Amino acid sequence: MSRALVLNASYEPLSVVAQRRALVLVLAEKAEVILESDDRFRSERLDLAVPSVVRLLYYVKVPFFRTGGLSRRGVFARDEYRCQYCGCYADSIDHVQPKSRGGTHSWENVVAACRRCNIAKRDRLLSETHMRLLRPPAEPPRSAWVASAVGHVPQDWLPYLGSSSEVA
């Protein structure tokens, strides 16, 4: 089933839910449809467009900034499934400064890597190899949790998530 983006009353992204849940929010008059998808829900008496983006009619106070925790899926999404050493398809993650050498398990030290580069680097520092990073690792932007939640962010959602460069 497809997903729908839920926005707060202030248009900031809150969560990603199933389209059926988004439709229930609209029917219960808790949200309004901002953007419809091409799909339709049909019943005996109703024929409704399926929402792709909904906005809550009341403001929900969020006590924390929503960020995606460090995860394998999050690293791959941030690095666009590309090895940060050679640019090939990545199938593993690598600690730039190995944990055996005091490296941390943090956004700034973990990158996506292909198996060949990961094996070639082993537990060495970059200065001890001929390898270079294509771009330095950094914590993804606040809205990157959406990409991690759905895998691929629909183009229609980008205006509500900030610039496309912010979404991993």
Q: What is the pLDDT of residues 59-116, one digit of tens each?
A: 988 766 555 678 888 898 889 899 999 999 999 999 999 999 999 999 999 999 999 9
Residue at token pair 């979404």:
167
Q: Is pLDDT at 165 greater than 50 in this prediction?
A: no
User: In this structure, are residues 59 and 10 in contact, taking their beta carbons and an 8 Å threshold?
Assistant: yes
Which of helix, strand or coil describes residue 41? strand
Say what the alpha-carbon torsion angle 108, 14, 17, 29 is, to the nearest 10 degrees. 180
pTM: predicted TM-score of the whole model, two decimal places: 0.58
| pLDDT mean over 109-131 | 94
> Would you place residue 155 in the very low, low, confident or very high pLDDT band (cuts 50, 70, 90)?
confident
Whole-angstrom distance, CA of residue 75 vs CA of residue 90:
10
Q: Which amino acid belongs to residue 166?
A: E
7 CB burial (10 A radius; 0-12, 13-18, 19+): buried
The pLDDT of residue 132 is: 94
pLDDT, position 67: 57
Confidence band for 3, pLDDT divided at 50, 70 and 90: confident
- Residue 105's pLDDT is 93
Cα atoms in the Cβ-side hemisphere of radius 13 Å centred on 20: 2
Write the pLDDT tens digit of every residue in 47-72: 988 899 999 999 988 766 555 678 88
Structure tokens at 102: 């005091």
Mean pLDDT over 8-23 rounds to: 90
pLDDT band at 164 (very low <50, low <70, confident <90, very high): very low
User: What is residue 68's predicted lDDT score, i.e. its pLDDT?
Assistant: 60
Q: What is the pLDDT of residue 161?
A: 79
Contact 7, 16 (CB under 8 A): no
